Amino acid sequence: MYGGRRVEGHGLERRLRSETVTEAKEARFLGFGLAARWSADYFRGYLRNEMKLFLSSYCWRVN
């Protein structure tokens, strides 16, 4: 009886551990997605500023 309860507790512990692992994986994935989105926004803003500088200097050169 006690051995069976111990095995059941061990299975519960293993299930909890796997749930924690999946939660950690999901958190890591969410963090990666957030970082990717942030870097994409930053890169887009950087490109926009570069294009503004390039166009303004180009127009200034033409005029």
Confidence of residue 1 (pLDDT cuts 50, 70, 90): very low
Predicted confidence at residue 20, as pLDDT, reads 76
**Is pLDDT above 60 for 2?**
no
Mean pLDDT of the chain: 75
Predicted confidence at residue 8, as pLDDT, reads 54
The string of DSSP codes covering the chain is -HHHHHHHHHHHHHHHHHHHHHHHHHHHHHHHHHHHHHHHHHHHHHHHHHHHHHHHHHHHHH-
pLDDT per residue over 13-38, tens digit each? 767 677 777 787 887 777 788 788 88
Of residues 49 and 24, more confidently modeled = 49
